[in-house]
Chain A
Amino acid sequence: MGYNMAEYSEETGPGIKDIYSKINNRKKLLVSILGLLCVAIFLLDIAIGSSWLSIKEIVFAMLQEGNRINKIIVWEVRLPMSLAALLVGASLGIAGAEMQTILDNPLASPYTLGVAAGAGFGAALAIVVGVEALPIWKGTLVSLSAFLFALVASLMIYYIAKLKNASKEMMILAGIAILFLFESMLSLLQYFATEDALQEIVFWLMGSLQRSTWMDLGILFFILVPASLWLTSKRWELTSLRLGDERAKGIGIDVEGLRLRTLIVVSLLTAVAVSFTGTIGFIGLVGPHIARMLVGESQRFFLTASALAGAILLLGASIGSKLVIPGVIFPIGILTSLIGIPFFIGLILTQRGGYWG
């Protein structure tokens, strides 16, 4: 069978260990490369802007030393944006990876099931109702309302799916229905909104990293960390979901329970990310696919790789958004899709096997 038995037949112990290390080492290397790339592009994102900083200047400023203006640029402008790109990208990458896993569907993304549509409606509602009333708290109110409605959307999906045995088909159907529901309610709001509010809604929906405050970043961080830890603890169970429901049940996985619990975690991640930055599309779809192409679908590596791929994509888009028109930050939501989609299609065309035929 084209295989040299002698290589492993002497002692089975070391043989299998070697194979296992070989499988792992390649993936560990790839994840490390992604990690380094992520750090590099993160620093680059901080460096690039209307005034360019050197890496040395950034490090000095981060350590609260050196030029006062540089410190202000780094701490109040660049760092929050870059961290937002990092955290939101990672959150969307993870959320997309698990959404594709629990729905067993390569088309799924954190936005497939209407969580983002809920957030969009929530934000628009706050903008329409609250613009005049509470100008100082507007940013927080918009985020809060977006978050609440994202949660409402995911709870609706959760309960509908739960009533119907939490099958993936049911979840997708319920999710798409909720998506259309919130989108039509959003259209209704837009129809009645004043011109100013309308403009603001449109801008919110485009997504932007500039909105996030240190407080937002803190919240994002404290959702992302426990969510990733929980998902990591379930990595074998989640991997088995892709074998199909019957197979997973056959090896004793509580498929429905795992799917519902993961849906909650993914929805939370998405809701927080989207409510602070708006609907930045595409990252949650492409990040996991890139990760899958690199390290496969064993969640031991897939999860981390998806997070890193998501972060790299969004950081890259952030750099792009600062370079398109010098001195102006182009809406990042537009850019992620414009650059990302040709790149993604190119990747798909060069791949064989798995989802990509």
Chain B
Amino acid sequence: MKNVTVKVDNLSFGYNSEKVLKNINVEAKSGEITGVIGPNAAGKSTLLKCIAGMLEPDKGNVFVNGNNVQKMQNKKISKIVSYLPQDQASNVVLPVLEAVLLGKVHSLCWKVTEKDLEEAWNILEKLGIDYLAERGLNELSGGQNQMVNIAQSLIGMPDVFLLDEPTSSLDLRHQIGVMDLIKNITQDEGISTLISSHNLEQVVRYADKLIVLNSGCVYASGDVESILTTDMMKSVYGVESEIELTKNGVPKVTLLSSTER
């Protein structure tokens, strides 16, 4: 079981002169799923990319297990942090098995070993897409492609797992399947998982903590119950809503109307 810490320390980032993230201070823990929510252009994807070391912040730092991500090489980062971008369809003529193996590109030797293959098979089975192993990515549907992407991100068993809208292209059954799997792996392996999503219902159901971003600032962060309030919904999303606890203890948001005309 890993013991992972993610600490975003006073982070600011801008594309050209426009500030996208302003003085962000958040943390994420081992074995927990942290939901990153907020309206369009709140900076959710940018925050994940900064944590993945893919964007150079203007100010501030990201620490994973106490190591400054900005000072690490891509190769090293990729061994501890896995980033799954918002999905795009792929037309690559490449067998699924090889696409999954690419997830551990930096540990592949000249010849693909039995261990590599077993790891790939293992994750394909866990995701229930082992039957796709021989097919080409170009033959898959959008949802199947995303399942392969998830397998690719998980094969290296990262410490930190960053997912940008991971289930938006999946059908309901696979949404639940994938989220259950991510929840289990997160807890069993002690991974720290951050998921950005517009799907509030889903985030609330699976996340342990929430980070609410609004116009590049942290509006609030903490436990789901304390964060998810009608006030937050109103001031961040601009909607009137009702929030109630369902039978199994999961908050349910019902949208009433938009406050903006």
Say yes or no for A244: interface residue by CB 8 A criterion.
Answer: yes
Query: Considering the complex, which residues of chain B in the window 88-112 have a beta carbon less than 8 Å from any beta carbon of chain A?
Result: 88, 90-95, 97-99, 101-103, 105-106, 108, 112
> Is the CB–CB distance between B90 and A353 below 8 Å?
no
> Is the CB–CB distance between A252 and B93 below 8 Å?
no
Binds A, one of B30-38, B129-137, B201-209, B227-235: B129-137
Known contacts being A3-B131, A298-B95, is A250 close to B82, with CB within 8 Å? yes
Q: What residues of chain A lie closer than 8 Å to B99, measured between beta carbons? A: 243
Known contacts being A236-B108, A243-B92, A297-B94, is A252 close to B121, with CB within 8 Å? no
CB-nearest residue of chain A to B104: A251
CB-nearest residue of chain B to A236: B105
Binds A, one of B2-10, B61-69, B70-78, B250-258: B70-78
Q: What residues of chain B lie closer than 8 Å to A353, measured between beta carbons? A: 91, 93, 136, 138-139
Complex Cα distance, B153 from A67, in Å, reads: 65
> Is the CB–CB distance between A298 and B98 below 8 Å?
yes
> Is the CB–CB distance between B134 and A22 below 8 Å?
yes
Which residue of B88, B92, B108, B149 has the most chain A CB atoms within 10 A of its CB atom? B92
> Is the CB–CB distance between A298 and B94 below 8 Å?
yes
> Is the CB–CB distance between B117 and A16 below 8 Å?
yes
Say yes or no for A23: interface residue by CB 8 A criterion.
Answer: yes
> Is the CB–CB distance between A244 and B88 below 8 Å?
yes
> Is the CB–CB distance between A19 and B134 below 8 Å?
yes
Q: What residues of chain A lie closer than 8 Å to B106, measured between beta carbons? A: 252
Closest A-B pairs by Cβ, 8 of them: A252-B78, A16-B121, A3-B131, A246-B85, A296-B93, A250-B83, A354-B93, A354-B138
Binds B, one of A7-15, A29-37, A78-86, A110-118: A7-15
Counting residue pairs across A and B whose Cβ atoms lie within 8 Å, the total is 109
| Residues in B lying within 8 Å of A, measured CB to CB | 52, 54, 74-75, 77-79, 82-85, 88, 90-95, 97-99, 101-103, 105-106, 108, 112, 114, 117-118, 120-122, 125, 130-131, 133-134, 136, 138-139, 149, 152-153, 156
Which residue in B82, B101, B121, B139 is a CB contact (below 8 Å) of A12? B121
CB-nearest residue of chain A to B156: A251
CB-nearest residue of chain B to A242: B92
Knowing that A17-B114, A239-B102, A243-B102 touch, tell me 9 more A-B residue pairs with CB under 8 angstroms.
A16-B121, A19-B133, A20-B97, A239-B98, A250-B153, A251-B156, A253-B74, A297-B92, A353-B136
CB-nearest residue of chain B to A19: B133
Complex Cα distance, B91 from A8, in Å, reads: 28
Q: What residues of chain A lie closer than 8 Å to B92, measured between beta carbons? A: 242-243, 297, 354
Q: What residues of chain A lie closer than 8 Å to B101, measured between beta carbons? A: 236
Which residue in A13, A240, A297 is a CB contact (below 8 Å) of B105? A240
Complex Cα distance, B25 from A320, in Å, reads: 69
> Is the CB–CB distance between A17 and B117 below 8 Å?
yes
Q: What residues of chain B lie closer than 8 Å to A298, measured between beta carbons? A: 94-95, 98
How far is the CB of B106 from the nearest CB of chain A, in Å? 6
> Is the CB–CB distance between B90 and A243 below 8 Å?
yes
How far is the CB of B86 from the nearest CB of chain A, in Å? 8
Q: Is the interface of B mostly helix, strand, loop or mixed?
A: helix
A 20-60 binary contact with B (CB < 8 Å = 1; else 0): 10110000000000000000000000000000000000000
Q: What residues of chain A lie closer than 8 Å to B108, measured between beta carbons? A: 236
Complex Cα distance, B228 from A290, in Å, reads: 56
Which residue of B74, B94, B152 has the most chain A CB atoms within 10 A of its CB atom? B94
Say yes or no for A65: interface residue by CB 8 A criterion.
Answer: no
CB-nearest residue of chain A to B112: A20
> Is the CB–CB distance between B138 and A250 below 8 Å?
no
Q: What residues of chain B lie closer than 8 Å to A3, measured between beta carbons? A: 131
> Is the CB–CB distance between B85 and A15 below 8 Å?
no
Complex Cα distance, B112 from A237, in Å, reads: 14
Known contacts being A12-B122, A19-B134, A353-B136, is A252 close to B97, with CB within 8 Å? no
> Is the CB–CB distance between A242 and B97 below 8 Å?
no
Which residue of A236, A252, A253, A353 has the most chain B CB atoms within 10 A of its CB atom? A252
Q: What residues of chain A lie closer than 8 Å to B114, measured between beta carbons? A: 13, 17
Complex Cα distance, B152 from A236, in Å, reads: 13
> Is the CB–CB distance between B98 and A247 below 8 Å?
no
Q: What residues of chain A lie closer than 8 Å to B102, measured between beta carbons? A: 236, 239-240, 243, 251
> Is the CB–CB distance between A250 and B52 below 8 Å?
yes
> Is the CB–CB distance between A253 and B105 below 8 Å?
yes
Which residue of A8, A236, A237 has the most chain B CB atoms within 10 A of its CB atom? A236
> Is the CB–CB distance between A247 and B117 below 8 Å?
no
Q: What residues of chain A lie closer than 8 Å to B77, measured between beta carbons? A: 252
Known contacts being A12-B125, A16-B120, A252-B75, is A242 close to B94, with CB within 8 Å? yes
> Is the CB–CB distance between A250 and B85 below 8 Å?
yes
> Is the CB–CB distance between A8 and B130 below 8 Å?
yes
Complex Cα distance, B131 from A2, in Å, reads: 9
CB-nearest residue of chain B to A250: B83
